[in-house]
Structure formats: structure tokens, C-alpha cells
Amino acid sequence: MLITIAKMLSLKKISKISLGTFGMVSKRFSEWSFVKRENK
């Protein structure tokens, strides 16, 4: 029981981290594309 709870918590943590990373990357990419468009 405790093992499954720990596994679920770690999975939640991992998914949260990956989601945060994905958000940062998408934000960076949108900023980069915006800068590229402005420079044209």
C-alpha cells in the first residue's frame, strides 16, 4: 500500500516537472519565433 502511494506521488512529481519543463520550452520557442519575425 505505502509503496503504491509513493510510486503515485513520484509519478505526480515527475509529471509536474515535465509539464513545467514543457511550458518553459514552449514559452522560449514562442519568444524566439517572435524575435525572428520582428527581425525580418
Per domain, the residue ranges of the chain are 1-40
Q: How far apart are CA 23 and CA 21, in angstroms?
A: 5
User: How buried is 28 (Cβ within 10 angstroms: 0-12 exposed, 13-18 middle, 19+ buried)?
Assistant: exposed
Band (27; pLDDT cuts 50, 70, 90): very high
Position 14 pLDDT exceeds 70 = yes
pLDDT average, residue stretch 20-34: 92
Is it the case that residue 1 has pLDDT exceeding 80?
A: no
**Please, what is the average pLDDT of the chain?**
89
Instruction: Return the residue matching grid coordinates 524575435.
Output: 35
